[in-house]
Structure formats: structure tokens, C-alpha cells
Amino acid sequence: MKYLFASLFFVIELMCATAFAHKPSDSYLTITGGEEYLTIEWDIALKDLEFLIGLDENQNGEITWGEVKARRKAVTAHALSRLQISHRGYDCQLKLLDVLATRHSDGGYVVLSLSTDCPGDAAELTIHYNLLFDVDPTHRGLVHYTNGEIDSTYVLSPESPLLELKTGEVNRWNSFVAYVEEGIWHIWIGYDHILFLLTLLIPAVLIRRDHQWQPVESFRPAWTSVLKIVTMFTIAHSLTLWLAVMEYVTLPGWIVEAAIAFSIIVTALNNLFPVLHLSGWAIAFGFGLIHGFGFANVLIDLGLSSVSLGIALLGFNVGVELGQLAIVAVFLPLAYLMRSTTFYRWAILRCGSILVAVIAAIWMYERIFNATIVGL
């Protein structure tokens, strides 16, 4: 039994760790062929550049365009030291053309516009990318190659920092697999989605009788409840993920993120004071619609063509579901075995729900007011 307690304590540790987690980051590397020479646009988040080399000269918490321009040489030197592109053994000479600014779903980005001396019709390219891997293992480099006819995407990670790109081929299977892996990774490091799912699952091994939580008598009702919750959450977030990525529905990022935090607060409080009179699967469906918009950001920011976007969307969604099932496979047996203990009903259900509600309330405040309380 002590191993079960230790395992469930791990869940609580995960909840606590989220309060101090470093938010993962992406950079967007767009390589364009088809002309005489390759050209590159590289979007790097301001927050990452601040972390790497420092941009906020007066330390007032706001990065101005003037501060970015003042650090232009340092930004360029650092970035180019972390990117190598070669063609048939020759290292392409990357030269800065301009520094621009843009916004992605998670904030402001610097855009490095680069020229190269490698031919625009190069059939093979080797890309070695290492912007942040040595200091942030959650970082990803999202590569988009296009030449007007071919359009393909790839994901670079600390485990796979090297890409052998055959520009005339579109390996859709490799792109699909890459986005399956990215979907799994996204749900595992998306602490708010994990907390929402766990908060929904905690009461699944209990039943409410006479205003008291009682353990279910067999595994079947617990499993059925979990199956309904996961299925409804999947249907709901898949629907809005598709709507958002296809740009049929567009919502401001901060509203989506704040609403996700709100959904966690309501779900946690409903574990303590069941006033919604809704089944877990109904709550999962309703709030799952909001979480789908949150999943969409990483794909929207790539700016892919319809075919590449379809592959990325399918792969990413499959990955999210696999990651979700892995969490359920670990949590449900432990919760079922401990459902009759006082520890489960008090430490996990009650104290865990209070802790989740507090963390989510901090997230919500930070996301609405763009504030930092404990560096969430």
C-alpha cells in the first residue's frame, strides 16, 4: 500500500511542480526555395531572447522595439551560432537582411530575415538546430519548408536536433509521426490540461450517496465513467481544435488561456461542493470545447498550407489522445485500489482539489492581467 501512497503523492507533487514550471517555447524556421537562392525567416520569441541574452535594458519588465534594435547584433550573433544549414557538405553562409517583429499566440517574436548563398533548387539540405536545447529541454524548433509546389513541416527537439531534408519529396508519414510525437509531448507538458483531466478523474472511482463520497463497488462503473469522460473530452476538444486551426472560429489567446484556468477552478470546486448536477462526461464535454482552442495555438502559428495543415492536425490530435490515454492508464488502477481509504477521500479528493483550485486561480489572474506572481 505504501507504494500506492507514494504514487499518488507523485500526483500531488506534479500539481505543486506546475506552479513553478518554465513555460515551454517554440521557434519557427521557414525556409523558402524556388528562387535563385534559399531565403529564411526565423521567428524567435522575445521571452526566449530575454532569457538567453537579455533585451530588457532598463529592467522595467517591458521589452520595447528600441531595446530589440539596440541588441540586434547580439541577437543575430547568438541565433546564427545555433543554426547550421548545409548543402552537399557545404555550409550555407547565412546573412542578416532585416530584423522585424511579429506576434504569435503566446506573445511577441523577433523575425530574423536571412539570405543564403545556397541554391534555391537544392535537392538536399542538412539542418542542425540548437537554439535552446542546452538550457530548455521543452523547447522545439518547428521547420516549414516551401518552394511554391512542395510544402512540408518538421519538428526539431533535443533528441532530434538534426534534419536531413530532401526538398523535392514530401514524406507525409514522417510529418504525421512527428506531429503525433508533438501531440503526446504537448499534453504531457501542458500542465493545465493534465490538471483538468486528473481533477475530472479523481471522483470517477467514487459515488455520491447521502451527500457523502463512497467507493464504487466494482471496477466496471469506474471504468465506464472514465471512458465517458475521456471520450467526451476528446470529441469536444477535437471539434474546437479543428474549428480554430481552420480559422472558422478565432478567439484571443489570453481569453482562451484564462477560460482554461477557469474550467479547472470550477471542476475542482465541484469535487468539493457538487452543485453543478452534471455528470463528469458532461463537464468534460463543455469545458473540453475550451481546451481545444488551447491545443490549436501551436498549429496556427506555423501558417501551413491546407494539405500540410491537415496532416499536422491529424497527427497532433492522435498524439494528444495517446498522451491522454497514457495518463489514464497510470492513474485509474492506482485510484481504484485506493478508493476505499481515508487518504484518497481526504488527501487526494479534498486537499488535491483545493490545491488545484488555488493553482488554477493564480493562472487565471496571471493570464487576465498579464502578471507574474510565482513565475507560472
Instruction: Give, for 307, the enclosing helix (H) or strand (E).
Output: helix 306-338
Average confidence score pLDDT of the chain: 85
- DSSP states along 203-270: GGGEEEETTEEEE-SSHHHHHHHHHHHHHHHHHHHHHHHHHHHTTSS---HHHHHHHHHHHHHHHHHH
Please check whether residue 151 is in contact with residue 31, taking contact to mean a CB–CB distance below 8 angstroms. Answer: no
Q: What is the CB neighbour count within 10 angstroms for residue 275?
A: 9
215-232 b/e (C-beta count within 10 Å ≥ 16 → b): ebeeeeebbebbebbbeb
pTM above threshold 0.75: no
Instruction: With a cut of 90, say whether residue 96 has pLDDT above it.
Output: yes
- DSSP states along 116-146: EEEETT-SEEEEEE-SSTTT-TT-EEEEEEE
Place of cell 522585424: 100
pLDDT at 8: 45
What does the pLDDT look like over 114-147, one tens digit per residue? 999 999 999 899 999 999 999 888 898 989 888 8
What does the pLDDT look like over 231-280, one tens digit per residue? 999 899 989 988 988 888 888 888 998 999 999 999 999 999 988 888 88
* Residue 229, amino acid: I
DSSP state of 22: P
Q: What is the mean pLDDT of residues 346-373?
A: 89
Instruction: With a cut of 90, say whether residue 313 has pLDDT above it.
Output: no
Cα angle 12, 14, 187; round to 5: 130
Q: How confident is the model at residue 86 (pLDDT cuts 50, 70, 90)?
A: very high
Q: How confident is the model at residue 304 (pLDDT cuts 50, 70, 90)?
A: low
For residue 209, give every residue at least 6 positions away whose Cβ sits within 8 Å of its Cβ, in sequence order, or none.
none
Q: How confident is the model at residue 163 (pLDDT cuts 50, 70, 90)?
A: very high
Q: Which residue has the higher pLDDT, 165 or 303?
A: 165
Please check whether residue 102 is in contact with residue 132, taking contact to mean a CB–CB distance below 8 angstroms. Answer: no
Instruction: With a cut of 70, say whether residue 101 has pLDDT above it.
Output: yes
Domain assignments of the chain as residue spans, ordered by start: 26-170, 180-369
Instruction: With a cut of 60, say whether residue 84 has pLDDT above it.
Output: yes
